[in-house]
């Protein structure tokens, strides 16, 4: 049987924090691969960016229940894959959004660590759950070169646009973290050594 492939043409996927640094790239890449992309964001302003980055449907979580909206969008079928970087606030809902044999990729916990997951929560629909770490996928030099090569090739051909919307001097790292935590940023956040022009 094997593991499902996370993104395939025609699949419907859900990307949380679609206007964030990783979320933005995930939406662009999934759209380029032919997936139907649903993204969640916290504001209407972020919804505009998510649409620009390839989201076919955007859910503003301060205005709508994402589980209900995903059910509406998919006619109750659910999604093949959820990419969840939010964690505690979205984890259970993300599992609820999946189709049978769906694939949950938990790669962050901006809202905190999710509660322990009982196996019965996965068994009810034969769900797959993974918590990947980049270091395990790039441990060997050939893996690193292949992965980096694929990303840079997609950037150079325009498939991916890296958004650097917020730059902070290194001395303001605490403010950068506060802005991230308070959902004031979009795209990638870059820290610049003090004394270097922003």
pLDDT in tens, 107-136: 988 888 888 888 888 999 999 999 998 899
State residue 1's pLDDT score: 44
CA dihedral 37, 38, 39, 40 (to 10 degrees): -170
Quick: pLDDT tens for 40-71: 999 999 999 999 999 999 999 999 999 999 99
State residue 35's pLDDT score: 96
- Give the chain's domains with CATH numbers: 12-131 (3.40.50.720), 166-198 (no CATH)
Q: What is the mean pLDDT of the chain?
A: 91
Residue 165 confidence class, pLDDT cut points 50, 70, 90: confident
State residue 51's pLDDT score: 97
């Amino acid at each position: 049987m094997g593991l499902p492939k996370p993104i395939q043409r025609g699949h419907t996927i859900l990307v949380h924090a679609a206007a964030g640094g990783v979320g933005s790239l995930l939406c662009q890449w999934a759209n380029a691969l032919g997936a139907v992309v649903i993204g969640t964001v916290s504001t209407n302003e972020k919804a505009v960016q998510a649409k620009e980055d390839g989201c076919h449907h955007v859910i503003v979580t301060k205005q709508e229940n994402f589980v209900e909206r995903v059910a509406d969008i998919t006619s109750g079928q659910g999604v093949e894959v959820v990419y969840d970087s939010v964690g505690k606030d979205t984890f259970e809902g993300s599992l609820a959004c999946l189709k049978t044999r769906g694939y949950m990729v938990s790669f962050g916990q901006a809202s905190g660590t999710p509660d322990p997951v009982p196996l019965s929560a996965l068994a009810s629909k034969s769900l797959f759950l993974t918590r990947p770490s980049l270091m395990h996928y790039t441990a060997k030099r050939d893996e690193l070169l292949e992965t980096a090569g694929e990303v840079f090739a997609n950037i150079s051909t325009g498939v991916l646009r890296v958004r650097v919307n917020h730059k902070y001097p290194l001395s303001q790292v605490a403010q950068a973290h506060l802005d991230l935590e308070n959902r004031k940023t979009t795209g990638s956040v870059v820290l610049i050594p003090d004394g270097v022009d922003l």
